[in-house]
Chain A
Amino acid sequence: MSEGPVLFGVHVPPHPQPLLAHEQNEGWGRLRAAFDHCREQIELSGADILLVYSTTWPSIIGHQIQAHPEPEWVHVDDDFHFLGSMPYKFRMDPEFAEGYRDAAEARGLFARTVAYHGFPIDTGSVVALSLLNPNNRIPACIVSSNLYANRSETIVLGKAARDTLEAQGKKAVVVVVSSLSNRMFTEHIEPHEDRIHSQKDDDWNRKMLEFFADGRLEDISQLSRDIHGQIRVSKVVAYKPIWWMAAVMGQHNNYSGKVHAYEALNGAGGAVISLVPTSQSVGDKEFDEDDVEYYRGDRDVLVSGDMDAPAGVKGRLDDSDAPPTAGPSGVIHVPGAPKPVGAYPHARRVGDLLYLSGVGPRNPADDSIPGGAIRDPDGNPSEYDIEEQTRACIENLRTVLEASGRGLGDVLDVTAFLIDMDRDFSGYNSVYGDYFADIQPTRTTLEISALPTPIAVELKVIASAV
């Protein structure tokens, strides 16, 4: 058995048929029997907590974690209300929930606990906890599936769960509540008519089950986007539970896998699977996807590629798409920023801070000066637009910050240099306010006699690097 905090993992479907109608279809009955088998294993496990990630609990405002000590209600499914009601009273672990929230925030996520009477616990969680832990022998914790979370965010969320288990010295059984293929029939069918929606879905499900049976959890995690593209209905919820499960359980293939049942649930693929950590593994251990320890994204949802971004919306898929950041010693050179006029980098990361070299308004493409140079090639003074120079200056600043994995919102301190305070302060100050009024970095503005290039303004910045 495991020496880590996770004793074993279980993958179960969210549909209510195994709970409410298992006698109406042989396949649903086999799923129910598989749930019962896993329940027995959980009872024998000595686990301190059941840690549940449910795909039928979507969240938008970060990650929500159930923290009510004894949530109680009578739940009815939106689609399958005719199968009956699901009364429940569960036992949660609020201490773990609060620790999990803190651990998630420490890794850069937005997380919060929910502890309200009547909070609508989702169908998947109700089914899983009712069948796997019917007497509340083991306290549970449920975490939501954020609609917008990408791979990096979901993996970090899984790691935060592991952090919490380790910090609190608890042993967990991890429960993922998710379909395999999730394409249901869109018309009413009789129980005896149930089957997997298509041969293609069935083929992919069986391929996934081969991986599960071989204990290749990390391999499935790395294939998640392909799986989603092939057999998942195109809605916001991707096949992300497997990212979370792999991250909680250790991101490897060293498991003994067993598929206890695989059946159709109104067309979707439902399987009850267990994964027990072992010292054995299948295949080598080279994985393609980058690992992520800390979430730095802005959860800007709408990404390109596999995740169904609307046309024209730009966004980062995950941290692996981020531009290159610091080299040795934290030194950062940014090809898209104005070339330095000396032997210095654009920025340097030291500890939690990012120091930027002075940034002027020069156009990185051709060294021209937006708003005009302060003197012509012969050295004669010429008219220039301080507002346009300041704007270009701040946009160059943004370029350097974003190439360093940060943004204008991370600026802590600004030192501004003007060559003519009387003439330019007002225009510079106005543009500055457009960008920084809400960010509120500290600022010092100085008049100096000259800058190395024919510009009127330069900014020196210190930003947060975390």
Chain B
Amino acid sequence: MARGEIVLGCLAPHPPHLVYADNPEQNEPFSEGGWETLRWGYQRLARKLKNIDYDTIVIFTPHWQTYIGTHFLGLPNFKSLSVDPIFPNLFRYHYDLNVDVELAEAMCAHAAEAGIITKMMRNPDFRVDYGTITSCHLLNPDWDKQIVTISSNRNRHYYSVEVMNEQATALGEACSRAVELSGRKVVLVASHSLSHRHFTSEAPLPEDMSREHIYNHSQYVWDMKMVDLMRAGSMREVIDLMPEFTEQTMAETEGGGLTWMMAAMGYPDYNAEIYGYQSVIGTGNVIAAWDPNEQRREVVL
């Protein structure tokens, strides 16, 4: 069996607003659009993915929050209705997804060997979190690839952001070993925004773009600092800054997604492909990809 490999890593934020704005047939609400900068960026990245040969999307999601270890979806299919508990007016999505259980079990086992508390989730009634569904829909609207979903352990709540960074690093390295031994070609996805200070009220028309802006300037400055480092290929510095960034921006990076992905990819020192940056209800969102294939890698923005 050939060695497995990570063929792309994606930072793929999951505001349900983007699915809502796209009006896919799976989603019940109807919109007049909105957040085009991000949606068009996602469309471009999805086109790139269509031209890459891969088997499985492995997604690390902050909206499956577990306090007792890291959990992995462990049944071959999940089909249900996902309703966002925060924005049920925007996201009521009928999903039908397939899981790469073999790879999930391998990742679970390697993580356990590395000393991480793990569990397979095998309850057929379990509802897959909307973060997973949003990011996967936007990256692969055809849903023609298997996925592995990894929960985000909330050790940041129990210990500190530094501990989160260390555990996410160990998990990323374990997942990388599992991919290598699996023979799979894998796309990794860290599903989260950058700065995450939210407006606490919503415009009467949620897609009213005249109301959309970053929460405040300091959040913007932090976001741009991170994006600049991504563009420069300084991912180890990004991860080193992660504890402070997370504290300052209340970021979903507290779940460890980007740290996990960068550790799995060996902290790329090449430029990230930036597909778009835009705020969604005040939070800062960047779509970025890290392509280990130098011939394929491009400067998008």
Binding site for B on A (CB under 8 A): 57-62, 74-76, 78-79, 81-82, 84-85, 110, 114, 116-120, 122, 146, 148, 183-188, 233-235, 266, 299, 301-302, 310-313
Contacts and interface: CB of A to CB of B under 8 A. Distances in A.
Contacts of B199: 61
A59 B86 contact: yes
A187 B68 contact: yes
Interface string B13-49: 0000000000000000000000000000000000000
B66 to A, nearest CB: 5
Given A120-B83, A184-B67, A235-B157, A302 B197 contact: yes
Of all A-B residue pairs in the complex, the 6 with the closest CB atoms, nearest first, are A85-B125, A81-B123, A235-B157, A118-B81, A76-B126, A74-B125
Given A78-B64, A186-B158, A266-B68, A119 B88 contact: yes
A60 B117 contact: no
12 contacts: A57-B85, A76-B125, A78-B64, A79-B66, A79-B68, A114-B88, A116-B83, A117-B92, A122-B85, A187-B69, A235-B157, A312-B248
A88 to B, nearest CB: 12
Contacts of A310: 247-250
B132 to A, nearest CB: 12
Interface residues of B, number: 40
B123 A84 contact: yes
A61 B202 contact: yes
A146 B198 CA distance: 12
A85 B123 contact: yes
A311 B83 CA distance: 34
Contact of A188 (B64, B69, B121): B69
Given A82-B123, A266-B68, A61 B248 contact: no
Contact of A233 (B64, B68, B86, B158): B158
Contacts of B83: 116, 118-120
Interface of B: 64-69, 71, 81-83, 85-88, 92, 117, 119, 121-123, 125-127, 151, 153-155, 157-158, 197-202, 218, 247-250
Contacts of A78: 64-66, 71, 151
A312 B122 CA distance: 44
B208 to A, nearest CB: 12
A57 B157 CA distance: 17
Contact of B92 (A58, A81, A118): A118
Contacts of A148: 200
B195 to A, nearest CB: 11
Contacts of A84: 123
Contacts of A311: 247-248
A246 to B, nearest CB: 23
A76 B127 contact: yes
Contact of A186 (B68, B198, B218, B248): B68
Give the residue among A82, A85, A186, A312 with the most B Cβ atoms within 10 A: A186
A119 B85 contact: yes
Give the residue among B71, B87, B127 with the most A Cβ atoms within 10 A: B127
Contact of B68 (A61, A188, A299): A188
Contacts of A184: 67-68
Nearest to A115: B88
B154 to A, nearest CB: 7
B121 A81 contact: yes
A60 B65 contact: no
Nearest to B74: A81
A184 B68 CA distance: 8
Contact of B200 (A120, A235, A299): A299
Contacts of A82: 119, 121-123
A234 B117 contact: no
A146 B81 CA distance: 24
A117 B83 CA distance: 9
Contacts of B248: 310-313
Contacts of B85: 57-59, 119-120, 122
A61 B201 contact: yes
A114 B250 CA distance: 26
Give the residue among B68, B71, B200 with the most A Cβ atoms within 10 A: B200
Contacts of A58: 85
A313 B66 CA distance: 28
A74 B202 CA distance: 29
